[in-house]
Amino acid sequence: MNSIAKINTETRPKPSSSAPSRSNDAGFSHPPALPIRLQNKLAILADAAKYDASCSSSGSEHRNSLNKAGIGSSGGAGICHSYAPDGRCISLLKILLTNFCTFDCLYCVNRVSSNVPRARFSIDEVIKLTLSFYKRNYIEGLFLSSGIIQSPDYTMEQVVEVARRLRQQHHFRGYIHLKTIPEASDDLLTEAGRYADRLSINIELANRKSLQQLAPQKDAPSIRKSMAAIRVKLDESRDKSHSGAAPASFARGGQSTQMIVGADESDDGELLACSESLYGSYRLKRVFYSAFSPIPDSSQQLPLTPANLNREHRLYQADWLMRFYDFSVPEIVAGGEQGMLEPDIDPKLAWALKHREWFPVDVNRADKHQLLRVPGLGIKGVFRILNARRVSPVRLADLKKMSRSVSRMLPFVVTADWYPKTSPDSDLLKQQLLLPSAQLDLFS
Amino acid sequence: MQQIQLAHPADFDGWRNKARALLHDGTPPEDVVWLAGLESGDLFGDISSDTPYKKEIPTQSSNVSRATFSVPHDFIRLSQYVVCHNEPTRFALLYRILWRMTHGEPDLLKNPCDDDVHRAHNLRRSVSRDRHKMTAFVRFRKLENQAQVDGYERTSTEEPEQYIAWFEPDHHILRLTSDFFMKRFTNMNWSIYTPEDSAHWNGERIVFGAGGAKDTLPDAEGMENLWCSYFANTFNPARLRIDAMQSEMPVKYWKNLPEAPLIAELIHNSHVRTQSMLNREGTSAPKFAEKAVDRSKSRAPLTEKSQATSLIQLAKQVSACELCEHASKATQSVFGQFQTVRMNTPSSRVINDEIGTIGRENQQNVVMIVGEQPGDTEDLSGLPFQGPAGTLLRHVLQETAIEGWTLYFTNAVKHFKYSVKGKRRLHARPTESSINNCRPWLIDEIRLIQPQRIVALGRSAAKSLQGYDVSINGKRGTWERGPFDVPVFITNHPSAILRTKDQDVRKLARRTFEQDLQTAFVGRPEHKVSD
């Protein structure tokens, strides 16, 4: 019979027919059965870890195993080894060491007051799973987090020990992302950074009062203090000037965090302002936005709502504008209404529609900053244009070779052979842009 | 018309050697026909050639003419990818670009709108994507006779483990990609079969051989079960986005992914699972919850509003203060810090920073030094006067006759206020209301410490200590009456010196600052208070 036991972490067990099963039509023979205990644990602890959006494996140092003992390589762009039907990349083995937790964060499926099944991996089990998956090229490495058990230091010790053994005993050179626990001691943080490529602490909610309400045991100041401590260590590890010798390496892939979207009343402006302050203060590589999503066992005090994936998407777009397109938070937020981003169109287009005086931009004359503001034109496209126009004036046909979204640009750009005849009415223009087809016809 | 025969479909070295020779002979692109291994029918002319990996970069063959032309390195990178494409005209395209670059268009590659360049970049992109997807979607299976019953690998390494994979790329990318697997799985023996060719690594060298078929693969092993279990459980049914999955993991790859057969059912059940989560009533906590929470409740409640009776209590109150809007964007409040002075040698003073704050209320002979507000460095470390201005202040203090005094460093405003510019935090001047909000904390510090004298650095400090706005230009170098009648000496903030661009003016400002501190420590307070 099928041996993929999908553990139902939804509270009441359902008949096994709802469990995903392996069919034979893909040409796979039925594999031999495995100890069900480990499989159950994996099911529970993967399920418990999936609300962390980050699965990135990029941006760390270049390593490989040529002429060395051990296994693994990393560096440059990350690799997504699979994609789940939720569209999220599966790059790392993302699991909790245990989903027992003494905290009672209302939005979290692993809160102490939740009735989900609990499990705990041994350190060896995590190591063996990681190596076995890695050798089959299923993953880039490990993303290990944990519920808080006994004490922050005890929990952190366990997490760090997994990483230590992977690196020192097994010479594992794949990617390791460790979730750090805000209240854990400074020594443990230093050790975590020695083995991990990335460290992260979740800010959870942009608003301190919300955090106090929904996660009474979490302490916003100590979250920020931990991020500050990581940043100081990151700075130290990159500072060669002192003695000339390279300092001990520390989390080469930097630090990241996650913000829950839609569990409290905070508007987009508040979330983005919080992100801006985090990027500026702690040199974060990324802020991940995670739409508050239904969980199998909810608290009576925090009713569930369907995940607002569109809002999450717009926040990511705004985040990009802030980091790579010279947009300030107030500019981005002003594109929408009352602190919320426009849901139907991307924030760059929203801004452009409210700033028609900026357009059309002449792609043959405009500077980089102006080009970056053109809807539909990305950073690569801007650099291609800057290169191309040195050779000869850019025409519409050239633009099509340099960008895949020319139709979206048309109302906003001038080329050697194109001048938009668009309506000055922004609402009308927005309606026209929202029509997916026949855009070229509309503007010519 | 010359016909050029290459050894295999992605024969970059062969193409390069021939292209050099053709270029040397002045053969124009339209006079050449390129045939790669596949087109010639002689698929694996080089089956026996095994290349040790240490000689990955081939040396120039001797039969190639020493033509004197050079091409940008970018072109080599581009060609290495383009030759792997399955487009039959790829070699001709590359030779045409090479010809044009060496015949009057040296900067051709810099024009992304040129048709040939644009075409070549498109081919490169497809190959690059195919290569990336291969590094992602190759799935190894361990040879059965080695797998242990429990599905675990053995940890000892008596003999290397043997892994086999089957992959169907769009382009001729096996050689291009095998480098990746070699560097990652160096200590495993592995083989990757594609329909066209195969690569075999034995820990020392890589050998390319004939293609295989899917049944070359060993039977599924137990670890695939665990992987599928992971795949099913890391999926969140409440956020179904099939389009996003398929754009990154196109269906054409699914047939060789052990987890792919699960997808249909996961999608099918997701709606019901989500609805049942949404419809379910919130649950009440299980029995163990209360106990577990109790055990973790070590944190004391935050604020007591009563007047602090110790510095540690005061520091706690300050850290919980959220009167200013900017407090929540700061890492932490920066409280004051005691430092003692000792003479290292008769001529050099050391400001010792190991004394801390806690339980130090009873220091004698304290001079309190009050700055404006913490900066970037102070905000991260939680200690006052750590940044550039603090460093300058400490330098000047070491040159000042401060022995006999205990120093207490603190700020008028306790939370860092800033604006973000790019990835930097820029100091923002504290507002009137911030200074007023923080004033009670400073007064309490003075009440608990009872310093002999206070040095106010800059306008914000003076304003907070005096309770009204003070002109530094007017009051610099003078003694004023402070809270609890403690004499306050007013001088510049050291950052004012750092901001001075003109070297001479700066030197002068520093000298004045040195003299001021000398007066503050050595001089006799002459404020308008009855002695």
> Which of B107, B161, B230 best probes binding to A when mutated, by most A CB atoms within 10 angstroms?
B230
Residue pair B521/B513 in contact by the 8 Å Cβ criterion: no
What's the 3-state SS for chain A?
CCCCCCCCCCCCCCCHHHCCCCCHHHCCCCCCCCCHHHHHHHHHHHHCCCCCCCCCCCCCCCECCCCCCCECCECCCCCCCEECCCCCEECEEEEECECCCCCCCCCCCCCCCCCCCCCECCHHHHHHHHHHHHHCCCCCEEEEECCCCCCHHHHHHHHHHHHHHHHHCCCECCEEEEECCCCCCHHHHHHHHHHCCEEECCCECCCHHHHHHHCCCCCHHHHHHHHHHHHHHHHHHHCCCCCCCCCCCCCCCCEEEEEEECCCCCCHHHHHHHHHHHHHHHCCCEEEEEECCCCCCCECCCCCCCCCHHHHHHHHHHHHHHHHCCCCHHHHHHCCECCECCCCCCHHHHHHHHCHHHCCEECCCCCHHHHHCCCCCCHHHHHHHHHHHHHCCCCHHHHHHHCCCHHHHHHHEEECCECCCCCCCHHHHHHHHHCCCCHHHHHC
- Of B136, B154, B171, the position where a domain reaches its end is B136
Residue pair B245/B222 in contact by the 8 Å Cβ criterion: no
Q: Is residue B280 part of a domain?
A: no
Q: Answer yes or no: do B92 and B237 share one domain.
A: no
What are phi and psi for residue A311, nearest 5 degrees? -60, -45
pLDDT digit string, tens, across residues B51-95? 444 333 444 444 444 556 788 899 999 999 999 999 999 999 999
Q: Is residue B129 part of a domain?
A: yes
Residues 115-154 of A with CB under 8 A from B: 115, 128-129, 131-133, 135-138, 148
For residue A7, pLDDT over 80 is answered with: no
Establish if B118 touches chain A: CB-CB under 8 angstroms: yes
Give chain B positions within 8 Å (CB) of A7: 233
The residue range of the domain holding B125 is 2-56+63-136
Cα distances from A63 to residues A142, A194, A199, B27, in angstroms, run: 16, 15, 18, 44
Q: Kind of pairing, strands B50-52 and B205-210?
A: antiparallel
Output the six-digit token pair for B57: 């970069």
For residue A370, pLDDT over 90 is answered with: yes
First to last CA, chain A: 62
Q: Is residue B114 part of a domain?
A: yes
Output the six-digit token pair for B161: 């483990």
* Least Cα separation, residue B390 to chain A (angstroms): 17
DSSP B333-345: ----EEEEEEEEE
Residue pair A260/A304 in contact by the 8 Å Cβ criterion: no
Dump strand ranges (E) for B81-170: 140-142, 162-166
Residue A159: band (very low, low, confident or very high) from pLDDT cuts 50, 70, 90: very high
For residue A318, give the amino acid letter: A
Nearest by CB to B226, which of A34, A294, A299?
A34
Which residue, B88, B79, B86, B84, is CA-closest to B120?
B79
Which residue, B164, B163, B161, B13, is CA-closest to B84?
B13
Cβ <8 Å between A135 and B289: no
Which chain A residue's Cα is nearest to B265? A20
Cβ <8 Å between B234 and A94: yes
Q: Is residue B84 part of a domain?
A: yes
| Percent of chain A residues past pLDDT 90, beyond the cut | 72
Average pLDDT over residues A371-378: 95
For residue A24, the model assigns a pLDDT of: 35
* Least Cα separation, residue A432 to chain B (angstroms): 24
What residues does B283 pair with on adjacent strands? A299
Cβ <8 Å between B284 and A113: yes
What are phi and psi for residue A408, nearest 5 degrees? -75, -25
Which chain B residue's Cα is nearest to A101? B292
Give chain A positions within 8 Å (CB) of B185: 65, 71, 135, 137
Q: Is residue B158 part of a domain?
A: no
Output the six-digit token pair for A97: 């060491």
Which chain B residue's Cα is nearest to A69? B187
For residue A36, the model assigns a pLDDT of: 64
Pairwise CA distance, residues A126 & A132, whole Å? 10
Give chain B positions within 8 Å (CB) of A29: 219-220
Give chain A positions within 8 Å (CB) of B272: 18
* Of A25 and B281, the one with more pLDDT: B281
Q: Answer yes or no: do B360 and B508 share one domain.
A: yes
Output the six-digit token pair for B263: 């997808």
Q: Answer yes or no: do B333 and B257 share one domain.
A: no
One digit per residue, pLDDT tens: chain B, 531 residues?
889 999 899 999 999 999 999 999 999 999 999 998 654 444 444 443 444 443 334 444 444 445 567 888 999 999 999 999 999 999 999 999 999 999 999 999 988 899 999 999 999 999 999 999 999 999 999 986 644 444 445 444 457 889 999 999 999 999 999 999 999 999 999 999 999 999 999 999 999 999 988 887 888 888 999 999 999 999 999 999 999 999 999 999 999 999 999 999 999 999 999 999 998 888 888 887 877 776 655 444 444 456 888 888 899 999 988 899 889 899 999 999 988 777 667 666 777 665 556 566 677 889 999 999 999 999 999 999 999 999 999 889 888 888 888 899 999 999 999 999 888 899 999 999 999 999 999 999 999 999 999 999 999 999 999 988 888 888 899 999 999 999 999 999 999 999 999 999 999 999 999 999 999 998 888 755 444
Tell me if residue B369 falls in helix, strand or coil: strand
Q: Kind of pairing, strands B189-193 and A175-179?
A: unpaired
Cβ <8 Å between B299 and A30: no
Dihedral angle sign, alpha carbons of residues B279, B281, B285, B287: negative
CA B101 to chain centre: 39
- Of B91, B111, B136, the position where a domain reaches its end is B136
Cβ <8 Å between A281 and B161: no
What residues does B162 pair with on adjacent strands? B189
Give chain A positions within 8 Å (CB) of B133: none
The continuous run of DSSP H or E covering B411 comes out as: strand B406-411
Residue pair B109/B75 in contact by the 8 Å Cβ criterion: yes
Give chain B positions within 8 Å (CB) of A217: 293, 296-297, 299
For residue A31, the model assigns a pLDDT of: 45
First to last CA, chain B: 110
For residue A438, the model assigns a pLDDT of: 46
Q: Is residue B405 part of a domain?
A: yes
Pairwise CA distance, residues A278 & A319, whole Å? 12
Output the six-digit token pair for B449: 């410490």
> Is the domain defined by A33-238+248-294+301-307 classed in CATH 3.30.70.330?
no
* Least Cα separation, residue A261 to chain B (angstroms): 14
Which chain B residue's Cα is nearest to A231? B380
The continuous run of DSSP H or E covering B425 comes out as: strand B424-427
Q: Is residue B344 part of a domain?
A: yes
For residue B65, the model assigns a pLDDT of: 45
For residue B451, the model assigns a pLDDT of: 93
Instruction: Tell me the CATH number at B479.
Output: 3.40.470.10
Q: Answer yes or no: do B382 and B332 share one domain.
A: yes
Q: Kind of pairing, strands B2-5 and B424-427?
A: unpaired
For residue B295, the model assigns a pLDDT of: 60
Residue A65: band (very low, low, confident or very high) from pLDDT cuts 50, 70, 90: very high
Pairwise CA distance, residues B116 & B134, whole Å? 27
Pairwise CA distance, residues A108 & A148, whole Å? 13
Q: Answer yes or no: do B263 and B364 share one domain.
A: no
For residue A86, the model assigns a pLDDT of: 95
Give chain B positions within 8 Å (CB) of A401: 112-113, 118
Q: Answer yes or no: do B345 and B489 share one domain.
A: yes
For A344, other C-beta atoms within 10 Å of its C-beta total 11
Q: Answer yes or no: do B466 and B395 share one domain.
A: yes
Residue pair B142/B223 in contact by the 8 Å Cβ criterion: yes
Please list, residue by residue across A169-206, b when 16 or more beta carbons sit within 10 angstroms of its beta carbon and e when fewer do. ebebbbbbbbbbbbbbeeebbbbbbbbbbbbbbbbbbb
Residue pair B127/B175 in contact by the 8 Å Cβ criterion: no
Q: What ranges in B103-147 are assigned the alpha helix state H?
A: 115-137
Establish if A181 touches chain B: CB-CB under 8 angstroms: no
Which residue, B182, B187, B186, is CA-closest to B156?
B187
Number of domains comprising chain B: 3
Residues 197-216 of A with CB under 8 A from B: 208
Average pLDDT over residues A172-178: 97
For residue B400, the model assigns a pLDDT of: 85
Cβ <8 Å between B293 and A219: no
Pairwise CA distance, residues A274 & A285, whole Å? 15
Which chain B residue's Cα is nearest to A64? B183
Cβ <8 Å between B231 and A31: no
Cα distances from A77 to residues A18, A237, B75, B305, B387, in angstroms, run: 37, 22, 22, 52, 35
Establish if A372 touches chain B: CB-CB under 8 angstroms: no
- Of B101, B136, B171, the position where a domain reaches its end is B136
pLDDT digit string, tens, across residues A235-244? 999 886 666 7
Residue pair A55/A88 in contact by the 8 Å Cβ criterion: yes
Output the six-digit token pair for A244: 């000339």
**CA quadruple A346, A348, A352, A355: dihedral, nearest 10:** 120
pLDDT digit string, tens, across residues A199-250? 999 999 999 899 999 999 888 888 999 999 999 999 999 886 666 777 888 9
Cα distances from A66 to residues A130, B131, B203, in angstroms, run: 20, 20, 9
Q: What angle do CA B154, A140, A131 make, to 5 degrees?
A: 10
Average pLDDT over residues A301-318: 93
**Helices A347-354/A309-324 angle, 10° precision:** 70
Which chain A residue's Cα is nearest to B113? A398
Residue pair A365/A305 in contact by the 8 Å Cβ criterion: no
Q: Answer yes or no: do B268 and B315 share one domain.
A: no
Residue pair A314/A343 in contact by the 8 Å Cβ criterion: yes
Pairwise CA distance, residues B498 & B510, whole Å? 9
Establish if A436 touches chain B: CB-CB under 8 angstroms: no
Per domain, the residue ranges of chain A are: 33-238+248-294+301-307, 355-443
Q: Predicted ipTM? A: 0.90
Q: Answer yes or no: do B245 and B359 share one domain.
A: no
Establish if B282 touches chain A: CB-CB under 8 angstroms: yes
* Least Cα separation, residue B215 to chain A (angstroms): 9
Find tokens 């529609």 and name the residue. A353
Size of interface A-B (CB pairs under 8 A): 334
For residue A9, pLDDT over 60 is answered with: no
* Least Cα separation, residue B373 to chain A (angstroms): 16
Residue pair A178/A185 in contact by the 8 Å Cβ criterion: no
What are phi and psi for residue A34, nearest 5 degrees? -115, 165
Residues 141-170 of B with CB under 8 A from A: 141-142, 149-153, 155, 161, 163, 165
Which strands sit side by side in the sheet containing A92-96, from one edge to the other?
A92-96, A141-145, A175-179, A198-200, A255-261, A286-291
